[in-house]
Amino acid sequence: MDKQKLYIETLGIVFLIINIGLIIVKELKLEVYMSFYAVGYLFITGFYAPKKRYFDVVGAGLLIIFCYNSLMLIINSMNI
């Protein structure tokens, strides 16, 4: 099968699993969803290493969101 097609399909399945999992545990924080998406996205993209037309803005955006969420979590836990 076409590698690019397989990459998109795998990413879709991973996001579906993340969504179902977090909805089942009744997660209501958007940052938790975004962090899971970031980890899933970066893992799948690293595994398939697909060709991209331009700079991977989605990956960069998700990485920044993930770093920001992690930083906020650390700051909050230190305050406690």
**Three-state secondary structure of the chain:** CCHHHHHHHHHHHHHHHHHHHHHHCCCCCHHHHHHHHHHHHHHHHHHHCCCCCCCCHHHHHHHHHHHHHHHHHHHHHHHC
* Shortest distance, position 39 Cβ to another protein, whole Å: 13
* Shortest distance, position 65 Cβ to another protein, whole Å: 10
Distance CA 53, CA 50 (A): 10
Choice between 20 and 80, CB closer to another protein: 20
Is residue 15 close enough to count as binding another protein by CB under 8 A? Answer: yes
Judged by CB under 8 A, the residue of 39, 42, 43, 54 near another protein is 54
Is residue 64 close enough to count as binding another protein by CB under 8 A? Answer: no
Interface ranges with another protein (CB under 8 A):
1, 4, 7-8, 11-12, 15, 18-19, 22-23, 27-30, 33-34, 37, 41, 50-54, 56-58, 62
